[in-house]
Chains A and B, each alone.
Chain A
Amino acid sequence: MNAAIKFYQTGTFTVGNRLLAPEQRSVQSSTERTNALNSGHRACQGCGEALGARYAIDAAMRATDNQLIAVNATGCLEVFSTPYPETSWQLPWIHSLFGNAAAVGTGVAAALKMKAVKAGLQHSRTRVVAQGGDGGTTDIGFGCLSGMFERNDDVLYICYDNEAYMNTGVQRSSATPFAARTATTMAVGPTPGAERGKGKNLPLIAMAHEIAYVATATVADLRDLEAKVEKAMSIHGARYLHILVPCPLGWGSASHDTIRLARLARETGIFPVFEAEHGEVTSVTKIRHRVPVEDYLRPQKRFAHLFGAKGHPDMLAQVQADADKNIRRFNLLDDTAEV
């Protein structure tokens, strides 16, 4: 019998693994990590965004030898990281407005460039990350983001996507997925939850600008996320990273399920994980062990109305069809994977 035997890591996905060579170890496993987002912030228990931001910014700090400035949009991250008079940020950090993080990032990059030119250098050693949630990125910050992309300003924009305006009480954004319950798309009436036919796909829109690097990631894959940040920081020009960050409060999930749900989002095909350069997909993370969307949806109260006696099997089927489409579109399955 020549059947291939697949091994999967189960159980704990520890950050540190002493069996790995040092250069393969994650930034988080290092005692030297910057903790650029230091402990003591006021995020909820199980907050995916706090995790994603710590992973991403520490990786960016290492990649830039700690020469990094962060620009933050208004939102959960900004609010819980800077409860006056304290700040958790251990790098230079500015919060201006809700919709202008990309533009402020452009300004910081321009100033740094001028300082470098005056010092006789071509590029600034100090780099810029602009970051915000899905609301600040896909909606109110969309114009500024597109402007930064088309000018190819030297900014890495990171969107922490928890699929709604969480800080203001879980209202719908254009990143809210079909059928999800939010405060402005309640689970009532004949079409409960977020309506069909709305919403936008920011990674694809970023790709349409043909910028040097676009990638998606989740908090379930630490090393993948860190590698993508490192890759992004090796490039000059406009770059975009879209990270899925589950929100226990807004999603109605258990705080210990944050990483598991992020993994399920990938494994169902609901959230394709890929990289693209200049408008073309260059790599995808294949689904290791495909599961039906129900596995991902059931642990989240925001999808509860799809199930049970008064459930909506038609909507559930639609979600599954959307996931199937993603799998086809991004070729997320290995030929040898279980379907």
Chain B
Amino acid sequence: MLQIRIHGRGGQGVVTATELLSVAAFEQGRHAQAFPSFGSERTGAPVVAFCRISDHEIRLREPILAPDVLIIQDPTLLHQVDVFQGLQPDGYVLINSQRSFHELGLADIEARFRHERLTTVPATEIALKHLGRPLPNAVLLGGFAALSGLITLDAVAHAIHAKFSGKVAAGNVAAATEAFEFVQKELQELESLTTPNTPAARSPQGGSGLSGRPIEA
């Protein structure tokens, strides 16, 4: 079972992000459960939402305490909330920021986990470009698809179209695609830096190809 935890602030579409993720997983024939940690929400307050993905029926209903994936929609949370609490050793982290992990002051985090599974993407800027609004939620899912390959960009696009329509859907898909390509490029650069003798990068894109840890039941 894959456990994803998304952190953000009220008004950034954190809950919608987990819903989209669950729909994307559904499109790929998986079981998925998405739910928020129901705080008295107000715009700007820290919000956490959860998504579980599995090939089997999901019966567990507790909050996700040991996530395999962390998506952080708002970097200002990094020093307010212990977002990395419980992150699994092989975990993925995607942070919405123009800065790198190092620049965000997270060098120690980088050291503790697998660095090819940690990255940032300027999702807000991409969202502003395609949507005219700083809503990074669907954008980040595109980035996550590239980072992990655990969900396909195609499925993300389907989920976006299921939830939104017209220009909003198109804008979100475009933004998610740009984020996907951005992260893909980042990973290729990282690959070429760390393995100078194999310039051809692995591509996590497409079909049902999975990279990284296989999904456990």
Decide if A and B touch, CB cutoff 8 A: no
Which A residues are within 8 Å of any B CB, using their own CB?
none
Q: What residues of chain B have their CB less than 8 Å away from a CB belonging to chain A?
A: none
